[in-house]
Amino acid sequence: MALDLILGPAHAGKIAELYDRYLAELATGRRASLVVPDSAAKAQTQRELLDRAPAIVGADVVDFDELFERILRLTGDRR
């Protein structure tokens, strides 16, 4: 899936659109990751996704720290 920017003013439904696209991607059977800034945003995002779909298979919500740890692990970097 290509990256698309979702633009618009505050309270215009950008987060709802992001969640809809994320859940639609998961519904195709493909894996998808949603990157959020920190652990608080991760917990909130997971709650909000479960409000939209009571059962989600293949969801992956990670914060930036987790993302960078994965990149280091997958590239073999041992720093």
Report pLDDT for 79.
65
The whole-number pLDDT of residue 30 equals 86
> What span, in angstroms and rounded, lies between the C-alpha atoms of 19 and 24?
8
Average pLDDT, rounded, for the chain = 89
21-67 pLDDT, tens digit per residue, is 999 989 998 888 899 999 999 999 999 999 998 888 888 999 999 99
Confidence (pTM)? 0.78
Q: What is the CA radius of gyration of the chain?
A: 14
Q: Decide: residue 22, CB within 10 A, 0-12 exposed, 13-18 middle, 19+ buried.
A: buried
